[in-house]
Amino acid sequence: MEAGTSQPHSPTAIRTDLAAIFVSLELSRSTWLITSLSPGNGEKMSKHSVVGGDVTALLGRFTQLQEKVRSRTGNQVPIVSIQEAGLDGFWIDRVLKANGIESYVVDPASIATSRRRRRAKTDKLDGEALVRALLAFKRGEPRVCAMVNAPSPEEEDRRRLCRERKVLIAERVKHVNRIKGLLFGQGISGYEPLRKNRRKQLDELHTGDGRPLPTHLKTQISRELDRLELLLEQITAVENERDTLLAAQKNSVAATLIPTGAMLCEVKGIGLEFAAVLWTEGLFRHFDNRRQVAAYAGLAPTPWQSGTIDHEQGVSKAGNPRLRTTMIQLSWLWLRHQPQSALSQWFTARVQSSGGRAKKSAIVALARKLLVALWKYVIAGVVIEGAVLKTA
């Protein structure tokens, strides 16, 4: 835009015949900003704040908006709301839907913004932008934004097991590394805190110059082992809950339930943890086609085409990071456990054709193909070509 081009002081909504009250919610810990565009109020957006977490005040404000519209136009119109996916999760969305309000949760990264180096950003401007995005979405404009498909409370709670285990494993690694680091500073290496005889080995350790472990150092390491043993117990408890969940799904006789986790466990190379992550993080959802499956995992390609420029930027990484990481790990294991499968042979031919220089990009492509193939397997029973299933 040229320097002399004028801009309006405040953005306005695209004029349309409104058949509803369009509302956006800017959520924070202390304040919820409600931005609304109502029929009979021109293109002016009204703003109102309520205390963060006060659902009664929020619903009361919605009632006031409907009463104002009814007094102006004589019509009773519904409310359509939108909010960004964030730390608040999906409980507000569920409350609104339970009260008969059409509610949407949008991926904030999917809304187009100004590419200026310095752009104005306030809750007021963001609220107006959300309302305009909601209007465009309801008009049916393609790719204006991406709405999040909120999981049910049961689906959301089920995936806590794998996520908690990942956090516990990371904490275990920190404690093990801390213990090894403390001992290495005394010239001691080779001590494994994860062994069952960890306490006995600790009593037998001597420093590099032949002294027994200093008293305070030994006490500190003992306390580290206390925390480490507690973590090991919690990890075992979480894994037992995970195994029970998979076993219960396998034994379920519900006709409407696809035993996704149990079916994945039948494939050679996929263990209980991988099966649980794939099930709880991605394959429990409904997808219309393979492109949606790849996009949800952030494994969809991202082309860059402009004029004579045409190259691939790599995967989008815009989807579920836990599912994407798991698929990359599973792809390497797939090559080891399923070397005769069509996917493994495709990978080998792809790498050999490039002289062995494209392993990283090829493994990402294999992860995408493998995820789509596993999706077809769990929803339609299509076994991957050449894949081996576990024996009973």
Confidence of residue 308 (pLDDT cuts 50, 70, 90): confident
Query: Which of 128, 150, 172 lies at the terminal end of a domain, its last residue?
Result: 150
pLDDT in tens, 155-207: 999 999 999 999 999 999 999 999 999 999 999 999 999 999 999 999 999 99
Distance between terminal CA atoms of the chain?
A: 68
Using alpha carbons only, what angle is made at residue 119 by residues 115 and 120, rounded to the nearest 5 degrees? 145
Q: Among all chains, which residue has been given the structure tokens 């086609």?
A: 289
Tokens matching residue 16: 């349309």
- 264 in a domain, yes or no? yes
Contacts of 362 (CB under 8 A, 6+ apart): 347, 350, 351, 354
- Return the pLDDT at 317: 86
Is the domain of 265 the same as that of 225? no
Q: Which of 150, 173, 208 finishes a domain?
A: 150
Instruction: Say if residue 9's pLDDT is above 60.
Output: no
Are 209 and 303 found together in one domain? no
The predicted structure's pLDDT at residue 3: 45
Task: Write down the pLDDT at residue 319.
Answer: 87
Q: Which pLDDT tens digit goes with each residue over 87-116?
A: 999 999 999 999 999 999 999 989 988 888
Q: Give the H/E segment covering residue 362.
A: helix 359-380
Residues 93 and 176 in one domain: no
Q: Could you tell me the CA-to-CA distances from 298 to 164, 295, 388 in Å, in that order?
A: 22, 5, 27
Task: Indicate if 169 and 115 belong to the same structural domain.
Answer: no
- Res 4 pLDDT > 80: no
**Residue 193 — φ and ψ, nearest 5°?**
-65, -15
Determine the distance from the C-alpha atom of residue 233 to the mean position of all C-alpha atoms in its chain, rounded to a whole number: 27
Mean per-residue pLDDT, 342-367 = 91
Indicate if 103 and 142 belong to the same structural domain.
Answer: yes
Rounded to the nearest 5°, which phi and psi values hold at 256? -90, -5
| Beta-ladder partners of 33 | 26, 49
d(CA 127, CA 118): 19
What's the rounded Cα separation, in Å, for the pair 331 and 178?
31
DSSP-derived 3-state class of residue 114 = coil
Judgement on whether residues 53 and 107 belong to the same structural domain of the protein: yes
Q: Give pTM, 2 decimals.
A: 0.84
Both 141 and 231 in one domain: the answer is no
Half-sphere exposure of 328 (CA within 13 A, CB side): 15
* Inside any domain, residue 391: no
386 part of a folded domain:
no
Task: Identify each DSSP E strand in the chain by its residue range.
Answer: 21-27, 31-37, 46-51, 79-84, 102-106, 301-306, 309-315
What is the count of structural domains for the chain? Answer: 3
Q: Residue 99: inside a domain, yes or no?
A: yes
Q: Is residue 313 predicted with pLDDT exceeding 70?
A: yes
Work out the pLDDT band at 306, boundaries 50, 70, 90.
confident
% of the chain beyond a pLDDT of 90: 73
The answer to whether 390 and 268 have CB atoms below 8 angstroms apart is yes
Show the domain range for 313. Answer: 260-380
> Is pLDDT at 5 greater than 90 in this prediction?
no
Torsion of CA 263, 268, 271, 274, to 10 degrees: -70
Question: What mean pLDDT comes out for the span 44-65?
Answer: 94
Own/partner pairs, 26-32, CB within 8 angstroms, 24+ separation: 26/83, 26/84, 26/123, 26/126, 26/127, 26/130, 27/52, 27/83, 27/84, 27/86, 27/88, 27/92, 28/52, 28/123, 32/58
